[in-house]
Structure formats: structure tokens, C-alpha cells
Structure 1
Amino acid sequence: MSKAVYQLEPLTCPSCIKKIETTLSKTAGVESAKLMFNSSKVRTEFDENEIKADKIEETITKLGYPVLSVKVS
């Protein structure tokens, strides 16, 4: 299981949290997604055999939330 933290541009609405978390939780290979509103970071756990970190980044960006940086571990 791999982990990644995505730094987003500052979020302005609490509904953003639900939108991002719901979409990522329905994405194949993503085991968990937790968004921290105050820091605008998304922490994910995913199966690298099913999905790569850049594909998760692409999914977040397509929702309208630019990713500023990614830390994969």
C-alpha cells in the first residue's frame, strides 16, 4: 500500500471536502482519501498495482482543484 499527500490551492468551501473525498473513494485502487480543509491537503492510501499517484492527481485536477505538490511514500 502506498501513501501520497497532495497539496492543493487554498480551499474556500466545506463542500469541496465531500466532493473530493467522495470521488476519490469511488476510484478503483484508492483505499482511503482524507482532506484536511485548513491545510488544503489530501492524504490518500492506494494500491499502486491498480492506480498511480499521478492518476489520482489528475482526478483531483479534473474536479477543479489544482494540485501544487505531491509527496509519495
Structure 2
Amino acid sequence: MSKAVIQLEPMTCPSCIKKIESTVSKMAGVANAKVLFNSSKVKAEFDEKTTSADAISATIQKLGYSIQTVKVS
């Protein structure tokens, strides 16, 4: 399993948390997704054989959120 920390532009609505978490969690290969509202970060644990940090980032962007950085470990 790989882990990604995706830094978003500052978030303004707490309801965004549920929207991002539920969408990313439903992606094939994603084991866990957590949004940290105060720091505007998404932490995701995923199977690199099934999906990628780029695919997760693209999904978040399709929801209307801007990505600043992506770190994978």
C-alpha cells in the first residue's frame, strides 16, 4: 500500500470533507481517505497496482478543488 498526502487550496466549507472523502473512498484500490479541513489536506492509502496518486488527484479536481502539491510515500 502507498500513501498520498494531497495539499489542496484552502477549503471554505466543512461539507466539502464528506464530498471528497466519500468520492475518493469509492475509487477502486483506495483503502482509506481522510480530509483534514484545517490544513486543507487529503490523506489517502491506496494500492498502487490498482490506482495512483495522480488518479486520486484528478478525481478531486473533477469535484472542483485545486491541487497544490502531491506527496507519495
TM-score normalised by structure 2 residue count: 0.98
Aligned letter for 1:46?
Answer: F
Match of 2:30 in 1: 30
Q: Identity of counterpart residues, as a percentage? A: 68
Aligned letter for 2:14?
Answer: P
Aligned letter for 1:11?
Answer: M
When the two chains are superposed, the root-mean-square deviation of aligned CA atoms in Å is 0.4
Displaced runs of 4 or more, over 6 A = none
Listed as ranges, the gaps of 5+ residues in structure 1 are none
Matched positions, count: 73
Listed as ranges, the gaps of 5+ residues in structure 2 are none
Encode CA deviations 1:25-67: one digit per residue, 9 max, x unaligned.
Answer: 1110100000000000000000000001100000000000011
Match of 1:58 in 2: 58
